[in-house]
């Protein structure tokens, strides 16, 4: 399947046949994967230590001594782990044998990301939907797609498009949509400090750009969850 090859391409984040824009790509250098994870951790550990020392922290204190290494491992292995193409979710698809022809919606997907402008958290929910073109995908794979792209320095607009493009490639259909509603701590906890505001972004592909289909999707999102 053409998208399986795409997942191995470390610098591509969307269907190679989609030439709309490069804005869905995470800005990465060509040598982004030359260093091993451990080499990156070693470098970041020194940088974090320098930052804390510059701020005046006593790095010999028991509470702070291990902080640079903990932060470095967190950056590489956890909150920015989605930069590593080896962690791309495996997106096996299956024949739609039950002939389900309506949209499938996976809503309230918990999202933790990091704003690339201030490196502060983005916390929210993603709602993803598609209409089968003959194939279906496991429900958890949609959660994994959101998590994969969220775990990198991000802007919400790009994240929304990346989720849609990857699912479009896996299912070989344009009929995919994503809505994300999230709080940005760079707005909520600093600057204007508006604790109540959130940011909503949306990408509607294929049939979801039709007003009646878009309306149906948004109505599904508003439904109360069963449990």
Residue from 45, 115, 127, 154 carrying the catalytic annotation: 115
DSSP sequence for 67-110:
HHHHHHHIIIIIITGGG-GGGPPP--EEE-TT---SEEEEEEEE
Catalytic residue at 115?
yes
Contact predicate 100/108, CB 8 Å:
no
Residue from 116, 157, 172, 216 carrying the catalytic annotation: 116
Residue from 12, 77, 118, 172 carrying the catalytic annotation: 118
Residue from 127, 154, 162, 186 carrying the catalytic annotation: 186
Residue from 39, 117, 197, 219 carrying the catalytic annotation: 117
Catalytic residue at 127?
no
Catalytic residue at 186?
yes
Residue from 45, 162, 168, 184 carrying the catalytic annotation: 184
Residue from 45, 106, 154, 156 carrying the catalytic annotation: 156
Catalytic residue at 197?
no
Pairwise CA distance, residues 171 & 24, whole Å: 18
Nearest C-alpha neighbor of 122 from the set 24, 198, 222: 198
Token pair 């958890």 is at which residue? 140
Q: What is the DSSP letter of 170?
A: H
Q: Which residues are catalytic?
A: 115-118, 156, 184, 186
């Amino acid at each position: 399947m053409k998208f399986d090859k795409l997942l191995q391409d470390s610098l591509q984040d969307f269907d190679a046949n989609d030439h709309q824009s490069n804005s869905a790509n995470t800005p990465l250098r060509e040598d982004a994967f030359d260093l091993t994870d451990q080499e990156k951790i070693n470098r970041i550990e020194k940088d974090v230590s320098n930052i804390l020392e510059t701020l005046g922290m006593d790095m010999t204190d028991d509470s702070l001594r291990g902080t640079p290494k903990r932060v470095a491992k967190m950056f590489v292995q956890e909150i920015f782990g989605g930069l590593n193409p080896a962690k791309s979710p495996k997106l096996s698809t299956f024949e739609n044998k039950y002939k389900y022809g309506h949209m499938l919606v996976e809503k309230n997907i918990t999202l933790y990301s990091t704003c690339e402008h201030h490196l502060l958290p983005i916390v929210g929910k993603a709602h993803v939907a598609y209409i089968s073109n003959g194939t279906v995908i496991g429900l958890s794979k949609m959660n994994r797609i959101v998590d994969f792209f969220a775990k990198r320095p991000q802007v919400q607009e790009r994240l929304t498009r990346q989720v849609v493009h990857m699912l479009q490639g896996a299912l070989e259909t344009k009929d995919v949509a994503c809505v994300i509603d999230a709080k940005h701590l760079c707005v909520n906890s600093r600057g204007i400090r508006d604790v109540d505001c959130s940011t909503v972004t949306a990408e509607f592909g294929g049939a979801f750009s039709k007003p009646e289909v878009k309306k149906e999707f948004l109505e599904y999102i508003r439904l109360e969850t069963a449990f």
